[in-house]
């Protein structure tokens, strides 16, 4: 028979004591906390920019919905006499986007400025006021895209079809701006 080899007494002691991990050492905990703090800081800074972008997207959607819903009001003689307020009709047919404020028959955009929709005879004009510079530039370049639409920024000249970023930047020079989109269809 083979006798069992004798084990080292230190090995026997090591086998008897289970090894427990003690957790983070303090330097590891500090590094983890720094990484978490940086991540939270980035999320907060990026989140602040997203709200401005969200307002612009929301307002662009509102203008698109008003355009579509106003087109549905067109009769065989167009939209009525030039200068006719079409907001009343839009309210009556539930044509105002749900996220726009309506106070005493006046529409308001997400920036608190009034929004009007008026007949031009065979077309109509949507005017949105109190637009901050960044929103003005974005909306001026994104909304009107075809030869049947014109964009007028503040008291500038109306531009047919697409407005370039350079033209929008020049036109949207005030702290608050007004844009009028005229649709001829």
Domains in the chain (CATH in brackets) are 26-183 (3.30.1690.10)
Residue 50 binned pLDDT confidence (cut-offs 50, 70, 90): very low
Residue 115 binned pLDDT confidence (cut-offs 50, 70, 90): very high
Residue 112 binned pLDDT confidence (cut-offs 50, 70, 90): very high
Summary mean pLDDT of the chain: 86
pLDDT surpassing 60 at residue 138: yes
Angle at 109 between CA 131 and CA 174, to 5 degrees: 10
Q: Whats the size of the chain, residue-wise?
A: 185
What are the start-end ranges of the E strands in 27-167? 101-103, 106-108, 114-119, 124-132, 149-153, 159-160
């Amino acid at each position: 028979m083979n006798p069992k080899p004798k084990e080292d007494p230190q090995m026997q002691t090591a086998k008897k004591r289970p090894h427990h991990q003690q957790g983070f050492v303090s330097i590891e905990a500090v590094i983890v906390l720094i990484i978490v703090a940086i991540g939270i800081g980035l999320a907060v800074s990026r989140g602040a920019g997203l709200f401005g972008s969200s307002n612009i997207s929301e307002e662009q959607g509102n203008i698109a919905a008003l355009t579509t819903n106003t087109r549905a009001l067109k009769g065989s003689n167009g939209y009525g006499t030039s200068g006719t307020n079409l907001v009343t009709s839009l309210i009556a047919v539930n044509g105002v986007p749900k996220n726009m404020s309506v106070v005493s028959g006046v529409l308001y955009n997400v920036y608190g400025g009034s929004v009007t929709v008026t007949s031009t005879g065979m077309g109509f004009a949507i005017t949105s006021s109190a637009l901050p510079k960044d929103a003005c530039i974005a909306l001026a370049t994104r909304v009107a895209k075809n030869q049947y639409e014109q964009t007028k920024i503040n008291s500038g000249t109306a531009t047919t079809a697409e407005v370039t970023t350079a033209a929008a930047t020049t036109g949207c020079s005030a702290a608050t701006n007004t844009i009028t989109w005229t649709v001829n269809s």
